[in-house]
């Protein structure tokens, strides 16, 4: 490539000569043939008696349009000027002097020009030639023929068959409209995104439209709802037990779209699982399931769905029926220790947490490491363990001990301290006296050792 600061030697072709040196020009551009200076080499040509260098790439310097078009750039290139203050030096005429092989050269400074592609053409990917611009659906050989249109690419007409001809097409994220073959519009990817350039930008969003004033993609009417992925508009479903695609369609408060038939892939609007239940008396309404005693209720169904069949809605609250006991979220028949049972909850509700229903005997028994006392089961306790009753502590720990009401832990009474790995409570004064006695004995022993 010719740099801006290099002299481009141009000379008259046809002058008489004896040796090549008399024909002054760019190295290899001229030669003396048959006593006459002629243009030589494949990159030089004669233009009005001047030998001009044919340029091969876009951006290379030139004086005449033929220098661009006779090179690889082709007929779609032109020689255009740039900054008039940016000039290069040339030698327009070189005349040989007989006898001394010297040349008389006159210098001239002209504005710098370069080879560029015409407005209807683009540079090839390698920058060596000018190619005609292609429009959408036109044939193409080079990606640059299409890339002048934002969002377009040169690809096979049949994408799955690489043998088919290549044409310009909008890429996957863009779309074009008929009769507008020089533009690709960026598709909106979600409801609420812009369609300011053209309504077709909403094309991938099902049942949507481009709002004229806001210039955004939106649902066709106010009764529709936007899908979770915001890529389509869905009709709102009237109520429970009707077909749906997504939960957003379900109009009933506290409802969702659930699969009702896996094989058929059927879905319907149902009350929120494990939280609400459809009323028996108030059809089509989702009522909150009771998860504890004394939770407010409107129907029996709310209580039995949460606390079990042995519960009821009484005076506006969920309670266990008469003669039944609540334990850990359910109402049970309260069994007795060694009495018949079917569920662990029956034993725990009737006795306490240290029992279970023995599957071999179907009777309530104490759990392992617990012991029986007065028809109840108790776990092993030491000072500091959690407790619910004083009995749990007094049955396990010797001395004055109780279940502290504030901390719910077994604690020695005031004035007593735990000993023997927290299994006994002893008088603190007695313990102090014992400790003093031990210290005195230790001192006596130490003194006696020194005497000997």
Q: Answer whether 178's CB lies under 8 Å from 166's CB.
A: no
Residues 33 and 95 in one domain: yes
Domain final position from 61, 84, 117: 117
Residue 72 inside a domain? The answer is yes
Report which of 427, 380, 424, 387 is spatially closest to residue 404, judged by C-alpha positions.
387
Residue 388 inside a domain? The answer is yes
Residue 343 inside a domain? The answer is yes
Q: Tokens for 14?
A: 């046809």
Total domains, the chain: 6
Q: What is the pLDDT of residue 205?
A: 95
Q: What is the pLDDT of residue 69?
A: 83
Strands (E), 34-135: 36-39, 44-47, 50-53, 61-62, 77-81, 87-97, 102-111, 113-117, 121-123, 130-132
Residues 53 and 28 in one domain: yes
Other Cβ atoms less than 10 A from the Cβ of 419: the count is 16
Residues 19 and 95 in one domain: yes
Residues 312 and 413 in one domain: no
Host domain of residue 396: 382-452
Q: Which residues, given as ranges, of the chain have pLDDT below 50?
A: 1-13, 26-28, 41-50, 54, 86-108
Distances (CA, A) of 84 to 95, 110, 111: 29, 8, 5
Chain segment 62-108, per-residue pLDDT in tens: 777 887 888 778 899 988 876 555 444 444 443 333 433 333 333 44
Residues 113 and 17 in one domain: yes
Binning the chain into helix, strand and coil, the percentages to the nearest 5 are 15, 35, 50
Residue 2 inside a domain? The answer is no
- The set of residues, in sequence order, having a beta carbon less than 8 Å from that of 74 and lying 6+ positions away, is 129, 130
Residue 3 inside a domain? The answer is no
Residue 401 inside a domain? The answer is yes
pTM of the model: 0.55
Residue 192 inside a domain? The answer is no
Domain final position from 303, 327, 351: 327
Residues 107 and 24 in one domain: yes
Residue 203 inside a domain? The answer is yes
Report which of 421, 448, 417 is spatially closest to residue 435, judged by C-alpha positions.
417
């Amino acid at each position: 490539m010719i740099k801006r600061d290099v002299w481009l030697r141009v000379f008259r072709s046809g002058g008489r000569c004896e040796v090549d040196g008399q024909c002054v020009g760019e190295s290899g551009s001229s030669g003396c043939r048959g006593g006459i200076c002629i243009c030589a080499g494949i990159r030089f040509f004669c233009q009005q008696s001047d030998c001009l260098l044919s340029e091969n790439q876009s951006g290379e310097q030139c004086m005449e349009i033929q220098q661009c078009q006779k090179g690889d750039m082709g007929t779609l290139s032109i020689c255009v000027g740039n900054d008039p203050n940016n000039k290069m030096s040339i030698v327009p005429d070189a005349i040989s002097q007989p006898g001394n092989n010297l040349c008389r050269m006159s210098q001239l400074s002209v504005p710098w020009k370069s080879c560029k592609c015409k407005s209807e053409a683009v540079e090839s990917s390698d920058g060596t030639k000018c190619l005609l611009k292609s429009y959408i659906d036109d044939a193409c050989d080079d990606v640059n023929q299409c890339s002048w249109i934002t969002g377009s690419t040169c690809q096979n007409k049949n994408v799955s068959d690489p043998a088919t001809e290549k044409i310009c097409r909008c890429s996957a994220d863009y779309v074009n409209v008929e009769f507008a073959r020089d533009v690709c519009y960026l598709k909106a990817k979600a409801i609420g995104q812009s369609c300011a350039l053209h309504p077709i930008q909403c094309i991938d969003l099902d049942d949507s439209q481009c709002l004229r004033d806001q210039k955004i993609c939106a649902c066709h009417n106010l009764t529709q709802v936007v899908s979770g992925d915001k890529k389509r508009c869905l009709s709102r479903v009237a109520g429970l037990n009707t077909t749906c695609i997504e939960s957003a369609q379900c109009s009933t408060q506290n409802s969702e779209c659930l699969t009702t038939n896996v094989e058929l892939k059927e879905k319907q609007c149902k009350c929120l699982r494990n939280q609400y239940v459809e009323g028996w008396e108030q059809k089509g309404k989702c009522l909150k399931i009771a998860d504890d005693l004394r939770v407010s209720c409107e129907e029996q169904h709310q209580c039995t769905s949460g606390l079990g069949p042995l519960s009821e809605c009484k005076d506006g609250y969920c309670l266990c029926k008469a003669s039944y006991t609540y334990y850990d979220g359910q109402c049970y028949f309260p069994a007795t220790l060694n009495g018949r049972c079917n569920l662990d909850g029956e034993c725990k509700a009737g006795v306490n947490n240290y029992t279970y229903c023995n599957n071999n005997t179907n009777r309530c028994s104490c759990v392992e490491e617990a012991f029986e006392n007065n028809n109840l089961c108790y776990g092993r306790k030491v000072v500091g363990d959690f407790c619910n009753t004083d009995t749990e502590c007094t049955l396990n720990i010797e001395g004055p001990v109780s279940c502290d009401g504030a901390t719910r832990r077994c604690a020695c009474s005031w004035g007593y301290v735990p000993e023997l790995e927290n299994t006994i409570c002893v008088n603190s004064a007695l313990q102090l006296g014992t400790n003093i006695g031990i210290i005195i004995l230790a001192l006596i022993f130490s003194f006696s050792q020194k005497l000997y």
